[in-house]
């Protein structure tokens, strides 16, 4: 969460001074994404994924060393609503405008695999909305998740990110404009401006706000040539670097699936056997779908 330019440039895997974690650790982004992977792999319902979020928050499940060191306030509030207040999952997320953090974006990318062959926009939107409101129930967060998943949807089906952006815009101005979410579309309009990718880096905001995170991640992918460079630039961008890097990497790697990120980074990552198991189970489940 440090400001851009206030720390030495990161060029390799290293320990976290901010969270006092060893090199190769992963944050709440990955832990909550693993919860989603397990939920989708096992065909679990919304109660199932909230139970997995609770296990992560209370017991450190799906963490690199069996202990939690961070969770966003909005996500934690939603988990408490489920576990303590016994609120139904689709009502657990905070619906206030102040709760538009990026905790929905950081965990939702695997849903794009499930939606890859779903041709009906309404069905794609419904699933995107439902998995978002588990933790973030404001309409702006729902729209952010939907845009992110739509971009991944088109990239997975063979289009470039630039083409995916072009194809997503009429969906917002057509399908989404006929819904209660129409008022949130203008917040994401900069993405569809013709000069978006030429915006100077100094103008790209890197806060934990859902709009800032999504736009920063997309800008990074449009301006870097490889997934590795996308990730390094995100880490050096300042602000909420782990989530911006997570979202940007999801887009970059989906667009460049045959380009290796960095084998040395993977060898330095903690609990790779555990991660491989989770990824393999998910891949086996959806490889032929």
How far is Cα 114 from Cα 40, in angstroms, rounded to an integer? 8
How far is Cα 221 from Cα 226, in angstroms, rounded to an integer? 8
Calculate Rg over the CA atoms of the chain. 18
Domain 101-286 fold:
ADP-ribosylglycohydrolase fold (1.10.4080)
End-to-end CA distance of the chain: 39
Check residue 5 and give its pLDDT.
58
Name the more confident of 69 and 214. Answer: 214
Check residue 200 and give its pLDDT.
95
106, two tokens? 């950081």
Residues of the chain above pLDDT 70, percent: 95
With a CB cutoff of 8 Å and minimum separation 6, the contacts of 189 are none
Name the more confident of 260 and 78. Answer: 78
Q: Per residue in 45-62, pLDDT tens?
A: 999 999 999 999 999 999
Name the more confident of 16 and 271. Answer: 271
Check residue 15 and give its pLDDT.
72
Flag whether pLDDT at 41 surpasses 80. Answer: yes
Q: Label residue 255 by pLDDT band (50, 70, 90).
A: very high
Check residue 167 and give its pLDDT.
97
Q: Label residue 287 by pLDDT band (50, 70, 90).
A: confident
Check residue 1 and give its pLDDT.
57
Backbone angles phi and psi of 136, in degrees to 5:
-135, 105
Flag whether pLDDT at 258 surpasses 60. Answer: yes
Give the residue among 109, 201, 98, 119 at the shortest CA–CA distance from 146.
Answer: 109
| 26 membership: H or E segment, kind and range | none
**Least confident stretch, 2-11, 102-111, 167-176, 202-211:** 2-11
Mean per-residue pLDDT, 123-150: 98
Name the more confident of 70 and 42. Answer: 42
Check residue 22 and give its pLDDT.
85
Question: If you average pLDDT over every residue of the chain, what do you get?
Answer: 93
Q: Label residue 9 by pLDDT band (50, 70, 90).
A: confident
How far is Cα 286 from Cα 289, in angstroms, rounded to an integer? 5
Mean per-residue pLDDT, 115-141: 98
Check residue 4 and give its pLDDT.
62
The residue whose two tokens read 């509030």 is 77
Mean per-residue pLDDT, 82-105: 97
Flag whether pLDDT at 2 surpasses 90. Answer: no
How far is Cα 2 from Cα 242, in angstroms, rounded to an integer? 11
With a CB cutoff of 8 Å and minimum separation 6, the contacts of 37 are 110, 278, 279, 281, 282
Q: Label residue 10 by pLDDT band (50, 70, 90).
A: confident
Flag whether pLDDT at 289 surpasses 60. Answer: no
The residue whose two tokens read 């609990």 is 271
């Amino acid at each position: 969460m440090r400001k851009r330019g206030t720390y030495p440039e990161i060029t390799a895997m290293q320990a976290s001074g901010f969270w006092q974690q060893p090199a190769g650790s992963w944050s709440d982004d990955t832990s909550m994404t693993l919860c989603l992977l397990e939920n989708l792999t096992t065909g679990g319902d919304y109660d199932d994924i909230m139970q997995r979020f609770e296990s992560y928050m209370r017991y450190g499940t799906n963490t690199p060393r069996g202990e939690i060191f961070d969770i966003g306030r909005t996500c934690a509030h939603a988990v408490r609503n489920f576990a303590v207040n016994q609120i139904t999952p689709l009502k657990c997320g905070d619906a206030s405008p102040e709760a538009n953090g990026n905790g929905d974006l950081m965990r939702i990318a695997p849903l794009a695999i499930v939606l890859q062959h779903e041709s009906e926009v309404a069905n794609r939107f419904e699933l995107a909305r439902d998995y978002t409101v588990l933790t973030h129930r404001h309409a702006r967060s729902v729209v952010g998740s939907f845009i992110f998943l739509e971009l991944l949807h088109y990239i997975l089906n063979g289009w470039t990110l630039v083409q995916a952006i072009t194809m997503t815009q009429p969906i917002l101005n057509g399908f989404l404009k006929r819904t209660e979410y129409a008022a949130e579309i203008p917040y994401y309009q900069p993405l569809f401006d013709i000069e978006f990718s030429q915006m100077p880096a100094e103008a790209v905001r890197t806060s934990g706000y859902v709009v800032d995170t999504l736009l920063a991640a997309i800008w990074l992918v449009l301006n870097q040539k490889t997934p590795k460079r996308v990730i390094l630039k995100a880490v050096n961008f300042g602000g909420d670097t782990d989530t911006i890097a997570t979202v940007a990497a999801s887009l970059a790697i989906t667009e460049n699936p045959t380009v290796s990120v960095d084998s040395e980074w993977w060898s330095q990552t903690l609990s790779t056997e555990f991660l491989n198991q989770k990824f393999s189970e998910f891949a086996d489940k959806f490889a032929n779908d």
